[in-house]
Amino acid sequence: MLIWADGTVNQPDLSPEIQQGLKMVCRNVELEARLIDDLLDLTRISRGKLQLQLRPADAHELLGDALEIVRSEIEDRHLKLSLFLDAARHEVHVDPPRLQQVFWNVFRNACKFTPEGGTISARSYNPRPNLLVIEISDSGVGIAPESLEKIFEAFEQADPHREGLGLGLAIGKATIEMHGGTIRARSEGLGKGATFVIELPVPAPAG
């Protein structure tokens, strides 16, 4: 269904109404597939069956790969993107696809909750040699104080009117903790943007 709709949507002989309908079909199929994947991941996590394939990886590279996935959303919404990747030590021992998924989810939320023309930034630094901190910030709708911890619970969302089941951050939190790290949110309140802080251990240099 998705392949057919995606391949048909840009045919020039289709009316705007049909093109719009096909785009909605693509969007809904992609959303349902993502929800199924999230539910499967959540089930594996709850049963302790999510297996990580750990290997050395460059966190900056994974961050960049996640950004490329949402770049079209950033451009479509005319969002201003700033990168401050100052961490000298950003080689981590992780499951690269899983960590990239966490970065992607945080970036996607930033795009979704930031009004057109707003800003998104990513920053990295080493507060000490064995720790990497990555902060992803936006100028979006913000998070109420009472929701700062709840948003990491499955089926919870800061905004109940948004699409999805609120699984991404719950999966992200579990994934980061399985890597020996932490993730938390900061916000001065509704309408004041939000920052997600991800901390990951940095292995000692070989030798």
pLDDT, tens digit, for every residue of 48-59? 667 888 999 999
Summarize pLDDT for 90-133 with one digit per residue, the tens: 999 999 988 998 999 999 999 999 999 999 999 999 999 999 99
The pLDDT score that the predictor gives to residue 137 is 98
Summarize pLDDT for 145-178 with one digit per residue, the tens: 998 988 988 765 555 444 444 678 888 998 999 9
Q: Are strands 119-128 and 91-94 parallel, antiparallel or unpaired?
A: unpaired
The pLDDT score that the predictor gives to residue 60 is 98
CATH tag, 55-201: 3.30.565.10
Q: Say if residue 46 is exposed, middle or buried (CB neighbours under 10 Å; 0-12, 13-18, 19+).
A: exposed
**b/e sequence 52-70, b meaning 16+ C-beta within 10 Å:** eeeeebebbebbebbbeeb
Which residue in this structure is represented by tokens 């959540």?
42
The pLDDT score that the predictor gives to residue 118 is 97
Summarize pLDDT for 59-69 with one digit per residue, the tens: 999 999 999 98
The pLDDT score that the predictor gives to residue 12 is 60
Residue 136 and residue 185: Cα distance in Å, rounded? 10
The pLDDT score that the predictor gives to residue 1 is 43
Residue 72 and residue 102: Cα distance in Å, rounded? 18
**b/e sequence 34-44, b meaning 16+ C-beta within 10 Å:** eeeebeebbee
Question: In 3D, which of 6, 40, 17 has the Cα closest to residue 154?
Answer: 40
Q: Where are the domains of the chain?
A: 1-51, 55-201
Which parts of 80-156 fold into alpha helices (H)?
96-113
**With contact defined as beta carbons under 8 Å apart, do 98 and 171 qualify?**
no
Residue 112 and residue 115: Cα distance in Å, rounded? 8
Strands (E), the chain: 55-58, 80-85, 91-94, 119-128, 131-138, 182-186, 194-201
With 80 as the cut, is the pLDDT of residue 190 above it? yes
